[in-house]
Structure 1
Amino acid sequence: MVSIGLRRGDLELTNEVFRAKVRGIYSTALTKILLDNGFRIVQPSRAIRERFNLPIAEENYQPDIEIFDRFDKQGINVIGRAAAVSKVSSALLDLLDDVIIRRQIPIFATAQLFSGDGAHSGLNEDLYEAIRDIEDASSDMRMRIDVEFPSLSKKKLDEIRSAIVPTLSGHHYYKACGGKIAGMLEMAEKLLESGYPPKETEGIFKECVSREYPHENSKISIEHVKINGRIFNLGEAHMAEFNESEKHMKLIRVFSSQGVYDGLNVPKEPGDYAVTTLRIGDWFLRTSYFSRDGEYKGTYVNINTPIELYPTKIRYVDLEVDICMWPDGRTRKIDFEKLDKFAQMCYISKRLKDIVYEKAKELMNSLRVDLEIEAKTIGKGTH
C-alpha cells in the first residue's frame, strides 16, 4: 500500500448521518468526538453503550466506517465509506495539534501507478494527482486511513475521556505501552471508579510503573517515525545521564562504520560518537558529533512531535524540518519545503506546521558552538 495525505477538498463533506463502529484503547474519547460531529455509534461495546447511554437498537445497524487500534497502539485505522472517513479525518485534524493522517491507496491503484519505471515518492505531486485520476473519488468509494496519535494527541484524548469516565493522567500513553503497564493502569482506574482518591491512586500507580522504565546507564533505542509512516531504529544508545525529575537525558552512540552525517555532509568515521541531548516532552532533540579524539564535527537538531519515553525506547514523529550547525558557527535550516508539502496534503494540520516554524526560529537563536563542544567530555567518558 502507498501512503499519501488526504486533502479536505478531495471529497465534499455532506450532512449525511454516518454510522461508526469503534473498538480499541481510544474508543471512549473517539466515541465522544464522533457523537459531537454528528455520527451515530453502532454495534457499541457494552462499556461504550453504558457510558454514553446508547440505545440497544443501534446494535443491529451496519457501520459506514469501522475504527480500530493499530497493531502498535500508537493510533488507529479508519476504514469504510470515503465521505465518512474524510469527515473523521477533518474532525481529528481540527481537534488534535500533532495528529498525523495517512491515507492508504487501494492496491489496484498502486499497480497502475507503478506500471512505468516504478519510481515513486510520498511527496511526488504527479503521483498524488495520478491517484486522484485513478480513483475519481466518490462518496461510496471505500477508503482507509492510518491515524497516528503522538504525545499531544494522546493528552487531548485523555482530557476528552476524563469528562466521561474516571481517567488517570497519561491514560492513552500508558495503554499504548501495553503489557504490565497497561494492566496496572486498568487496576488503578478501577480504584478511581470505586471512589479511591485520585491523587493517592496516581501516586501508587506511578510508583509501580517506574520500575518498568530505563534509568541512568541503561541501554535504550531511538524510534524515529517519519510523517509518511516509515519507521527507523537509530540504534542502541547508552543513557549517560537521566534527570528523572526534569525528564532530561543524554544518550551516547558510538559508530563502527563509515558514511556521511545527514544534513551536515561531514564524513562519518569508525570510532566517532554522537551525544544526543533531549528532554521528554520537548519538540526537538539535538545531536552533536565528535571524532574518536573528541574533535567536534557539527550538530544536527531534529524537530519532532513531543518526545515520549517507553520502557525500551524513546519515540517521536520526525517533522522533517532540521537545523544544522558546523564547527565554524554556520547554521542552516533544511527541508522546510517537505513540511509545507505534508501540510498541503493534509498529513498534518496547518496549526502543526506553524508550531514547527516557531520552534525552528527559537532553536536557530539558541544554538552555540561552545555549548555543543562541552558535550564531548560526556561522550569521552562513556566509550
Structure 2
Amino acid sequence: MTVRVRGIYATALTRLLREDGHDIVQASGPIEARFDGAFADERAAVTVETTGDQQGVGVVGERDAAAAVVDRLTDVGRDALAWDDPTPVGAVYDGTVTETLGSGAVVDLGDGEGFLPYSSSAERVETGDAVRVQVVEASAPWDDDRPVLDTTVAVRGELLSLVRGGSGPSSGTGGPAMLDVIAADPRDGWGVSWEGASEDASFDALADALEAANERAAEIDATLADADAPAESAPVCHHPGLATTWCWFGRESRFALDDARREVTATMPGHHRVKAGDRAASAAVDYVEALCDEPETGESDFPFAVTARQFGPQVGGSIALGHGKPDGRLITLGSGEVQSVDDDGTVTIERELSAGGTYDALGVPKEAGDVAETKLKEGRWWYPTVYRDRDGAKKGTYVNVCTPVEVFPDTARYVDLHVDVVRHADGTVERVDDDELDAAVERGNVPENLADRARSVAAAVRSALE
C-alpha cells in the first residue's frame, strides 16, 4: 500500500514501513536524500503525520491499509499506544449548535463535539441550529482542541479534492485542461480542485487519484441521497469518513525509533525524545548530528543534564504533571515549583495543595497548607509523591506506576497504568487498583505485555517499601 509520512518521526517510520513492504509516496526532500531508490508522487492510501505537540502521530486513510500501519507503529515499543478517533477525518454529520464563541460554533455530533469556524459556513449559525458538517481536521485525544468542521462536503486529498455541489474543474494548479490530459472526469455534481502536490505527480497518478476520489464521492452521495434534513435527524453520522487513529509514543518507543533512524543516518541518543520535548531543540539536534557522523548510541547515552540546562526544566521554574490515561485522555495534575534538577535525570517538584476531599487510596483529608513533593526520574516506570501537612509531618506516600517518565522542559509526560502502591503514615504498605488495570486490558486500552510490566513494577515497588 502507499503511505505518506511527515514530521519528526518520518525517517524512522519510513524505514520501518518500507521494511514491511509499504510504498512511501510524496516523500519530502530530506527523506529522498537519505534513502536509496526513487519515491513516487502518487496518491497515498494512508497519511501518517506528526501531531502538533510532537508526542505521536495521526494515521488517516483507507481502513484496511490504515489498520496495517497502526499495527506496525504500536509494535515499536511497549509504550506505543493507539486510539481510534470517534469523529474521524471526512465523516459527515448532522449536528446541533450548542454554543457560539468568538470565532465559531460548538456543534454536538452525537459521537463528540466539533468546532465550526464561522468562515467555514456560508450562513450565520446560532445556538439550536441544525447543520450538516464534515470533519476536516481531527484532534488527538490527549489534546483539548475539538475537531474542526466545515459545511462544505468534499473528498480532500494531497493531489486533488472533489467538492460536492461544484460545477467543474477549478483553475487551480492543474488548470481546467488537466482533465483532458488525464482523460478523466469528476463525478457528476462534484467539482475538482487541484492541490499543490499535483504539480509533481504523473498523469497516471492524477488519474488514479481522481478515480479513488470519485469512488468516495459516490459513497457520500449514496449515504446522503435519502437523508432527512439536519433539523429532523441531528445528531447523526451519515458517512464514517476515513479511518483515523492516534498513536502516542512513550519514551521506550522514542528510543526504539532512534535505533531505526540510526540505520539510515547519524542520530544522537534521545533524538526523538529531545525533539518531542521542545520545538526549539530541533535545530540544535540537527546541528549536533550534522557535526557528528557517529554519535554515541543507546538510551544510557541520552544527555539529560545538557538538555535540561539548555531547554529546562530549571530550579525555580515550574513543571506540570501530564497524566495520560490509557484511553488517550490527558489530565494535567497541576504545576509545581522545581526544587532540584540532578544530572541523572531526577527532578524534584513541590506543590502546595488546597483543602477539600481526601488523598486517593490514603484516605486522609486534604488540608490547607499541605505540600506534595514529587520526584520524577527520566525513564523510570514509577514516581513517588510524598504528602506532608503544614508542619512537615508525613501524611502518606503515593507511588504512581506508569510508562517511562519523560521530563520535558515544562511538563513531565507518561501514561498512568492504574495499579499503584501507597504507604500510609503508620508504615502500612498497600497495592491498589489492580482491578482497574485488568479492566483496561479487557477494554483493549492496555496491551497485555505492558500490563505485565506494570504489575511487575508494582510488585517491586511494594517489596521495596515494606
TM range (shorter): 0.7 to 0.9
Do the aligned partners of residues 143 and 191 (structure 1) sit closer, same or farther apart at CA in structure 2, a change above 3 Å counting?
same
Distance 1:185 1:64 in 2: 31
TM-score normalised by L of structure 2? 0.63
Q: Does 1:198 align with 2:295?
A: yes
Report matched runs for 1:253-292 at 5 Å.
253-292=351-390
CA shift for structure 1 position 28: 0.8
Distance 1:203 1:83 in 2: 37
Aligned residues: 322
Report matched runs for 1:352-371 at 5 Å.
352-368=450-466
Q: Which residue of 2 aligns with 1:211?
A: 310
CA shift for structure 1 position 349: 2.6
CA shift for structure 1 position 311: 1.7
SS of the equivalent of 1:29 reads helix
Comparing 358-367 with 307-316, which one deviates more in the overlay?
307-316
Q: Identify which of 234, 259, 283 aligns with 2:333.
A: 234
Report matched runs for 1:57-136 at 5 Å.
58-59=40-41, 61-106=42-87, 111=109
SS of the equivalent of 1:22 reads strand
Do the aligned partners of residues 317 and 142 (structure 1) sit closer, same or farther apart at CA in structure 2, a change above 3 Å counting?
same
Contact 1:151 1:173 in 2 (8 A): yes
CA RMSD of aligned residues (A): 2.9
Do the aligned partners of residues 54 and 336 (structure 1) sit closer, same or farther apart at CA in structure 2, a change above 3 Å counting?
farther
Distance 2:259 2:307 in 1: 23
Distance 1:340 1:204 in 2: 36
SS of the equivalent of 2:426 reads coil
Structure with greater contact order relative to length (CA < 8 Å, sep ≥ 6):
1
Distance 2:304 2:289 in 1: 9
Q: Identify which of 174, 182, 201 aligns with 2:282.
A: 182
Q: Which residue of 1 aligns with 2:19?
A: 36
Contact 2:289 2:295 in 1 (8 A): no
Bigger radius of gyration: 2
Q: Identify which of 302, 314, 324 aligns with 1:225.
A: 324
Q: Identify which of 141, 144, 150 aligns with 2:250.
A: 150
Do the aligned partners of residues 205 and 325 (structure 1) sit closer, same or farther apart at CA in structure 2, a change above 3 Å counting?
closer
The answer to which structure has the higher helix fraction is 1
Q: Identify which of 21, 24, 38 aligns with 2:4.
A: 21
Distance 2:247 2:442 in 1: 17
Q: Which amino acid aligns with 2:265?
A: V
SS of the equivalent of 2:315 reads coil
Q: Which amino acid aligns with 1:336?
A: D
TM-score normalised by L of structure 1? 0.76
Gapped runs of 5+ residues in structure 1? Answer: 1-17, 115-121, 123-133, 369-383
Q: Identify which of 395, 399, 410 aligns with 1:297.
A: 395
Report matched runs for 1:298-377 at 5 Å.
298-368=396-466
Contact 1:158 1:172 in 2 (8 A): yes
Partner deviation per Cα, 1:184-230 (whole Å, 9 max, x = no partner): 111222223xx5x636xx99997587332233343322222222222
Contact 2:56 2:247 in 1 (8 A): yes
Contact 2:305 2:342 in 1 (8 A): no
Distance 2:424 2:417 in 1: 22
CA shift for structure 1 position 302: 0.6
Comparing 259-268 with 27-36, which one deviates more in the overlay?
259-268
Gapped runs of 5+ residues in structure 2? Answer: 95-107, 113-140, 142-235
Q: Which amino acid aligns with 1:36?
A: E
SS of the equivalent of 1:260 reads coil
Partner deviation per Cα, 1:332-352 (whole Å, 9 max, x = no partner): 322223323333444343221
Distance 2:304 2:406 in 1: 18
Report matched runs for 1:153-164 at 5 Å.
153-164=253-264
CA shift for structure 1 position 72: 0.5
CA shift for structure 1 position 63: 1.1
